[in-house]
Chain A
Amino acid sequence: MSQHNPELQPEPHPHPQEAIQPYAPDFVETPDVPTETVDHPSLPLWIYLVCGVALFMAGSSFTGFSTFGMGLMDQGPGGPTVAAVSAGPAAAETPAQVGMKLYNGNCANCHQRSGEGQPGAYPSLVGSDWVLGSKERLTAILLHGIAGPLTDKGVVYSTNVMPEWSSTFTDEKMADILTYIRSSWGNKASEVTAAEVTAARAKFASQSGPYCEADLLKIAPHGPDPADQK
């Protein structure tokens, strides 16, 4: 019946230029398991070579690392290093050593472990007038932070705010950090003691919010600390 009705004939493709060219495997129902085969008597040689190399690698990881045994935790090559772990806390550390750890944990995010800062954003501490100058002024920066642009050796750092650290660190820890940055990366200036930080904390207690550059220069102009001049 439908042969007589042109409406029931297949539609021509709406976009003949995009028509999909008929490709036999896409349309013809071929057998699920074709009878034709490509003859391969055995696996090719390179497969055995690859397998050999891989087995060798698996074996070497097994011999180089053999922490078997109930209760051992995965450790990596070399097995448990009992001696290293049970050495316990080290002997008393110098202020600069304590300062280095505090610095790396708290300050290095901006000023970098190398003390070099980031151009334009975070001032370099290496050879800086602010670091090597007045100890009192440097302590004031750490206590209350800085806002606004800061010039150091002709370079302007303008983008970021340094937070205050007075609520974070004790006077001892602050002294250790300041001693560390004044004596590292080629910096050579006198150490800062906890008593000096305590005195500065009392002296600048009235300051609220961060300093700007002009305020800091009022505390002390550039130039070496009196302790270093002697």
Chain B
Amino acid sequence: MSIPQFRTFFFLILASFLFAWFGLVVFPWLTVGHLPPIQEEGSTDIIPWDIAGAAHQGELVYAANGCAYCHTQQVRASTSGADIIRGWGTATDDSDPKKEITRRTYPRDYIWQHQTFLGHNRSGADLSNLAHRFQTAAELYRYLYDPYILNAHSSMPAYRYLFTTRRVTGAPYEDALVLAAADAPPAGWEIVPTAEGKSLVAYLLSLNKGYHLVPDESGVPYVPPSKS
């Protein structure tokens, strides 16, 4: 290759790279990179709700422990997967805890997460609406401490390093684990989640998509028919 040939070669390579860069990064960034939350008419609520600070700290614990290598956080439409049939698209309705909302996920569902964990592997269940299946922190603490309580052959590790055993001083701690006799700590001791464990559970409890979004994401607020 002579120098002019090399220059042409270089620009052609650059153009090929730019082609994929534009299609996979720039175009999505322009279309879904800066979605605002939407506001229902006649209401001061925004959809989706912002995530609490503790949940943002939990994102870092979720990342550091590599949960995303076995769990996804995306529900595909019923036309392109069985996710809805598996029950992963079912959330507790934000406005009425007795009702459920079942739907796929959209980009606007993730706008408040500082880091998204959509995942590539379903060795474990999808966690998009985990807070619908585990409604209290106590259940999640117990599950993280001993996943085999629900499935004896689970391949999920027990996250016991997110807990610490300490002597009870004064009143028992409200988040202390309630365990069966075989696993319970000796009298006068209690098993409590660490700061990391607490923020992880705060994050997991924020995973619930109990609101409606328009299917085509064009930004028009969607009003559920039942409201009238």
Contact = CB atoms under 8 A, between A and B. Distances in A.
Instruction: Answer yes or no: are A and B bound together in one complex.
Output: yes
Interface of A: 70-78, 80-82, 84-89, 101, 104-106, 109-110, 121, 145, 147, 159-161, 163-164, 167-168, 209-210
A180 to B, nearest CB: 15
Contact of B87 (A70, A78, A105): A105
Contacts of B31: 70-71
A167 B137 CA distance: 11
Given A80-B216, A109-B150, 11 more contacts: A70-B31, A71-B216, A73-B107, A73-B217, A77-B80, A80-B215, A81-B78, A88-B212, A101-B90, A161-B149, A167-B136
A147 B180 contact: yes
Interface residues of B, number: 41
Contacts of B138: 167
A76 B79 contact: yes
Interface stretch (B17-25, B192-200, B219-227): B219-227
B217 A110 contact: no
* Chain B binding surface SS class: loop
Interface of B: 31, 76-81, 87, 90, 93, 99-101, 103, 106-107, 132-133, 135-136, 138-139, 142, 149-152, 178, 180-182, 212, 215-219, 222, 224-226
B93 A81 contact: no
Contacts of A145: 180
14 contacts: A71-B216, A71-B218, A72-B216, A73-B106, A73-B216, A75-B80, A86-B225, A89-B93, A89-B99, A101-B100, A105-B87, A109-B150, A163-B142, A167-B136
Residue among A82, A109, A147 with max Cβ neighbours from chain B (10 Å):
A109
A119 to B, nearest CB: 12
A59 B107 CA distance: 28
A106 B107 contact: no
B226 to A, nearest CB: 5
B215 A161 contact: no
A210 B99 CA distance: 31
A105 B87 CA distance: 8
Contact of B76 (A72, A76, A161, A167): A76
Q: Which 7 A-B pairs have the closest CB atoms?
A: A76-B80, A76-B79, A109-B150, A88-B225, A161-B180, A85-B215, A105-B133
A112 to B, nearest CB: 11
A86 B76 contact: no
A142 B218 CA distance: 46
A163 B139 CA distance: 10
A104 B149 CA distance: 16
A109 B152 contact: no
B79 A78 contact: yes
Contacts of B151: 109-110
